[in-house]
Structure 1
Amino acid sequence: MHQARVDQFLDHVKSSIPLVNHLGLNRVIFENNEVCFHVSLAPNLNDKGTGFGGSISGLCTLAGWALTTLLLIEADLERNVVVKTGTIDFFAPVTSDFVVRCFCPDLKGSDLLIDKVQSKGRGRLPIVAEISQGDVLAVRYSGDYVALDS
């Protein structure tokens, strides 16, 4: 998918979900069945001067939704996408601008999603979203997203 289409998607997200405009989401990259959110730390600070868990959780949840949605758009199978489950672990503080890297841990997961949506009209995608600070994994989010009949 061309970056211009991904930028258009981000504009749509920002206009449809007003909160996103306040989370410091600067850029979305979608390549090789992976989404990367480039995020500024400043609007996501907590009282300790590190990343606020609530906004980090929200960005990880949004990244899973974006990955699922963009995979479907790329396959010309636009559907409503919702989060079904999500869990998050915080291993280290987020102390600088960061990237949320979101992917399906099963290399065939995106193909399975597309096959299910084509055959049954709906499908599921398990995802992982991670934030690293240097060489340290700071956050890991795991979730399941469902594509529903339009």
Structure 2
Amino acid sequence: MLPIELQNYLHDHSPLSKAMEVSVMSVQENAVVLPAPLGPNINHRETVFGGSASALAILAAWSLLYARLRTEGINSRLVIQRNTMEYEQPILGELIARASLDNPEEWQKFK
């Protein structure tokens, strides 16, 4: 799947991704990278809004699975079951979320 294909899908099917101005930097077999600018994701302290950081992380993880399943021709409906996040320091500019398969050999078990 090309980055622009995934980006268009996200913007068409997840309006929040469009409002956040999420783009797709790369789509690989075992990793996806999604950046978003500070502007539409800013909070009252002029840093990234925590909800935007969380949403981008979720979008990256979902996108990795979606792209991989689609590439393999597997029709599915992905639903996020749970999300936790720790905010260790403010994000002062563009935010970038990278989702990757830590153990690609477990992909068959996931399918």
Aligned length: 111
Structure 2 residue 61 is the aligned partner of structure 1 residue 64: yes
Return the letter of the residue paired with 2:43. N
Structure 2: stretches of 5+ with no match in the other structure: none
CA contact (8 A) 1:69 1:78 kept: no
Structure 2 residue 80 is the aligned partner of structure 1 residue 83: yes
CA contact (8 A) 1:51 1:93 kept: yes
Backbone CA RMSD of aligned residues: 1.5
Higher helix share: 2
* 2-structure distance, mates of 1:46, 1:10: 24
Task: State which drifts further: 26-35 or 53-62.
Answer: 26-35
How far does the alpha carbon of each residue in 1:95-140 deviate from its partner, in whole angstroms, 9 at most, with x for none?
Answer: 11122111123232333223xxxxxxxxxxxxxxxxxxxxxxxxxx
> Could you tell me the TM-score, scaled by structure 2's length?
0.89
Structure 1: stretches of 5+ with no match in the other structure: 115-150
- SS of aligned partner of 1:25: coil
How far does the alpha carbon of each residue in 1:61-105 deviate from its partner, in whole angstroms, 9 at most, with x for none?
Answer: 111111111110111112110111111111111111122111123
Give how far 1:47 is off.
0.4
CA contact (8 A) 2:48 2:95 kept: no
* 2-structure distance, mates of 1:68, 1:21: 20
> Could you tell me the TM-score, scaled by structure 1's length?
0.67
